[in-house]
Amino acid sequence: MTDAAADPPPEAVRPASASGAGRRADRPLPGGRTDTWRHPLTVRITHWINVVAVVVLLMSGLNILAAHPHLYWGLSSTFADPWLSTPTVPNWLLIPQGRNLAEARKWHFLFAWIFVANGLVYLIWALVSGRLRRRLAPSGRDLRGFWPAVREHARFHFPTDDRARTYNVIQKLTYLAMVLAVLPMMLITGLSMSPGFNAIGGVLLEIMGGRQSARTLHFISAGLIVGFIVVHVGLVIWTGFFNNMRAMITGWFTIQPPGSTAGPKLRRRPPADGAGS
Amino acid sequence: MNRRRWLTGALATAMASVVSACGEASWRLSEQARRMGEGLTRRAQRLLIPRDALAPTYSRAEISPDFRANGSIDPAASDYRALKADGFAGYRLVLDGLVERPLSLSLAELRTRPAQTQITKHDCVEGWTSIGEWTGVRLETLLDEAGLKPEARYIVFHCFDALDQREDGERYYESIDLIDARHPQTILAWDMNGETLPVPHGAPLRLRVERQLGYKHAKYIRRIEAVESFAHIGRGKGGYWEDRGYEWYAGI
């Protein structure tokens, strides 16, 4: 899909290659910075719909969990011996506000439809357009650079120059895991809790190890999503909140001059300064 | 075409409700969206799940030793107490409404009907699951015996129990459509785990409608009524919990 409405003047547009539909040329900015085209319209729209859907699903899901805040493994509940009992969740985290199983279920299922429809649009588009392969699939070189990337991340060191044009290997693997494993897992485990769906999806129920295992896996997957959101939003802020938000709203992302990084630059001092250390 | 209209309608209403986040008007909109979502969910299940697709069954070893009794566990209504005191000897199941030949059957008479046994899971709307073995007669057998009139569309179960335990309290009731009423696993159970159905689990007779959540499985059944519409019963939503906001079709 191309974004005709936001097209820059024709001379700025590179001829679209077969795999690069919607690709735009860089726009030079003052001070050695460059605007680069990062998020096509489909990504931006599905991203924000997904934000709304996932937040409503998490908050209504917490309300549903509150009706029986105990988790078990296996076919049925072992009431005297739950695997995990979750603490009471404050009201402001619940949809609707205050415990209400009937209403929470309606919110949950309505936004589950939106989540699934939106997710399918994204996945099909990402596969067909080749974006999944181009931007998210890690190359062999990416994978060999995994441990150095981990070390860079551990030092809260993130390049904001040309190296930020493509996702780093940890980003690629995390995004892939989210869109191909964790988010689909929510749907599969959710459906496996449905006695109606069990009548046709009995095999799936067996793979999960029973309805109570499916429910616990649903909760664990939701926990992984919360963990992702915390790290994701944290890094969005750390690596340039306005630039990142602008990219996910307008599509354009600003590349800083060579050598720029987000994060502490203390350890970048040349050794000559630090004699004796 | 109709389904596509539903889908776009549900999405449009949902998005509208998200955009205008507060205020009375948007609340009403979002309520409408949630109702449409419920309709979509019900239709999708009816579309995807074949009429006679069976709920999974389990082995004896998998039966829950701690099957939870929920809702009413010992009805206080005087008519129920009198029957219970007498071991339900005076109990008669009434099947009437839109039928050719209304039935009134004692437990002994019911037990002469062909019985079937199934070990299934009971999925509560709260999230827990228990597994139990149920023995009883297929609802379809009794419906055929009584002869459903062509205009009958729903089967309503009137129960003895009132959740507030008051004599004049609102009695529990439930309803299912004919697809579920005629489903091969839909039975009126009088035995649980090989023994007479205990009071906490709905003695003397309860419904098993295995592809739906626990609150559809009416306990303490007093009377079964075939109707064209349940709009005139209770608050009109088809069941005690449905009248309090829960889905009528409880497949998920």
pLDDT in tens, A18-66: 344 457 899 999 989 999 999 999 999 999 999 999 999 999 999 999 9
pLDDT in tens, A216-267: 999 999 999 999 999 999 999 999 999 999 999 999 999 999 888 886 654 4
pLDDT in tens, B176-200: 999 999 999 999 999 999 999 999 9
* CB-nearest partner of A113 from B37, B64, B127: B37
pLDDT above 70 for A158: yes
Closest-CA distance, A68 to chain B, in angstroms, reads 6
Cβ-Cβ contacts under 8 Å, B213 against chain A: 195
> Residue A197: CB partners within 8 Å, gap ≥ 6?
A191, B45, B48, B49, B251, B252
pLDDT of residue B104: 98
Look at A113 and B131 and tell me if their CB atoms are within 8 Å. no
pLDDT above 50 for A13: no
For chain A, give every domain's residue range.
Answer: 40-261
Confidence of residue B78 (pLDDT cuts 50, 70, 90): very high
Closest-CA distance, A184 to chain B, in angstroms, reads 18
pLDDT above 70 for B20: no
What are the C-alpha distances in Å from B135 to residues B57, B117, B205, B207? Answer: 13, 4, 10, 11
Give me the interface pTM, i.e. the ipTM.
Answer: 0.88
Q: Which residue of A has its CA nearest to B249?
A: A196
pLDDT above 90 for B86: yes
Helix pair angle (A101-129, B2-19), 10° resolution: 110
pLDDT above 60 for A276: no
Closest-CA distance, A76 to chain B, in angstroms, reads 5
pLDDT of residue B197: 98
For chain B, give every domain's residue range.
Answer: 2-48, 60-244
Confidence of residue B1 (pLDDT cuts 50, 70, 90): low
What is the interface size between A and B, counted as CB pairs within 8 Å? 125
pLDDT of residue A271: 47
Confidence of residue B250 (pLDDT cuts 50, 70, 90): very high
Q: Within the 187-246 window of chain B, which residues sit less than 8 Å (CB to CB) from chain A?
A: 210-213, 241, 244-246
Report the CATH number of the A40-261 domain.
Answer: 1.20.950.20
- Cβ-based burial of A10 (10 A; exposed 0-12, middle 13-18, buried ≥19): exposed
Return mean pLDDT, chain A: 88
Cβ-Cβ contacts under 8 Å, B66 against chain A: 77-80
Owner of token pair 């099909």: A124
Cβ-Cβ contacts under 8 Å, A95 against chain B: none
pLDDT above 90 for B73: yes
CATH architecture of the domain covering B60-244: Alpha-Beta Complex (3.90)
pLDDT of residue B193: 98
Provide the 8-state DSSP code for A170. H
- Mark residue A209 as left, alpha or beta (left: phi above 0; alpha: psi -120 to 50; beta: remaining): left
pLDDT of residue A20: 46
Confidence of residue B19 (pLDDT cuts 50, 70, 90): low
pLDDT above 50 for A3: no
Confidence of residue B108 (pLDDT cuts 50, 70, 90): very high
Return mean pLDDT, chain B: 94
> Residue B52: CB partners within 8 Å, gap ≥ 6?
B183, B184
Closest CA to A62 of A30, A28, A20, A104: A104
Look at B131 and A64 and tell me if their CB atoms are within 8 Å. no
For chain A, percent of residues with pLDDT exceeding 70? 87
Give the integer Cα–Cα distance in Å for A103 and A238: 37
For chain B, percent of residues with pLDDT exceeding 70? 96
